[in-house]
Structure 1
């Protein structure tokens, strides 16, 4: 126990720096991935074949390929195509792709759950198709999908631990670095796990609370 406390005091600041990088990577991936997911959610059912095929490709590859494979592809594969990205940019791009793919299906499910009567009512009021999407379908669909999207955000935060494989100095990377230099892997990984839990558990409770609040009318 004393060893755990000593390690926490000595290397806590370094691990907190790694935690900040993990949170930054999560927020960036969500900021770019969720709007793309909204676009892809309409793209997979679009009438335009080019748009539909591109959307299906990105969604299926993003969901079918493990995040670790996408990370390696962005970091090691793109330089072969004469595109050089930093480790942080590569990780952000890969996790954005994963976020867009999974959120597209979650948002599409939410949009399809909007009662048809809501759409019919908007048309009866003379609303255009665009206004119907903007004021009726998308807001209600996002509200339905919000708890699932929040749950996915927690999983994405945990998935940032894979970014150590491309030299991003996130929490797990810092833990490996400290462990390899001190050979005190157990206490370092325990502290890292507690830091992950300190973010993931409250966020999970928040998603459950949001789901209950949004379903009170049902």
Structure 2
């Protein structure tokens, strides 16, 4: 028999864990956005070694499970003398994993900008950095917003993997209380609802950003 009243005593702890999940997701998203931009610029550069490095990175990250990458950061780095906290390890693994996908999103956005705009800017004497900063990247970012939003939501859900390296986020706390009270359905449903709330908020904010950018473009 299901007994959801058991959850009431643990709601404050689950909400606290939800905040940890949110912090983990936001920091990882920021890292992924920044790293993904650098990787995208490397990939579209005319410098072959940089392009090869970007291609290799994307190939490795997209071709291996994120859980393996997380374990390599958390359990592997201490073998070479690099000790990181569970939270920092999770941020690095999540952010650098997302960077590979975000780089491809950025690249698609950059390649969608008409070459005529770049040629016109060059004819006016603008340098490459100025063209990218003032003309290409703002438009590419606007075009990439829907795909970046989907990636952000995926990262939020993937943050549950951090529970496997002892980060006290929503999934780990829910699992702990579920095991203690033998109420797996109740606590996992509660966790699912909290994740649903977070993803709904993320989607709402991203839709607002996309709408504002589309209006400003008009």
> How do 1:43-122 and structure 2 match up within 5 A?
43-122=42-121
Aligned residue number for residue 194 of structure 1: 193
Take 2:214 and 2:138, find their aligned partners in 1: how far apart are those partners?
15
Answer yes or no: is the 8 Å Cα contact 2:2–2:186 preserved in 1: no
Aligned to 1:173: 172
5+ residue gaps, structure 1: none
Q: Does the 8 Å CA contact 2:58/2:100 hold for their aligned counterparts?
A: yes
Q: CA deviation at 1:83?
A: 1.8
Give yes or no for contact 2:44–2:107 (8 Å, CA) kept in 1.
no
Residue 3 (structure 2) aligns with:
3
Deviations 1:13-55 (A, max 9, x none): 1111111111111111122221111010011232323322222
Gaps of 5+ in 2: none
**Per-residue deviation, 1:199:** 1.1
Instruction: Give the CA RMSD over aligned residues.
Output: 2.0
Q: Deviations over 1:157-210 (max 9, x none)?
A: 000001111111110000011011111111111111000000112322443454
* Cα separation, 2, equivalents of 1:2 and 1:185: 10
Which residue of structure 2 aligns with residue 33 of structure 1?
A: 32
Question: Structure 1 residue runs of 4+, over 4 Å off?
Answer: 208-218
> Which whole-Å CA distance do the structure 2 matches of 1:193 and 1:46 have between them?
42
Deviation for aligned residue 1:214: 4.3
Q: Could you tell me which residue of structure 2 aligns to residue 183 of structure 1?
A: 182
CA distance in 2, matches of 1:102, 1:86: 25
SS in 2 for 1:85: coil
TM-score by length of 1: 0.91
Q: Which residue of 1 aligns with 2:15?
A: 16
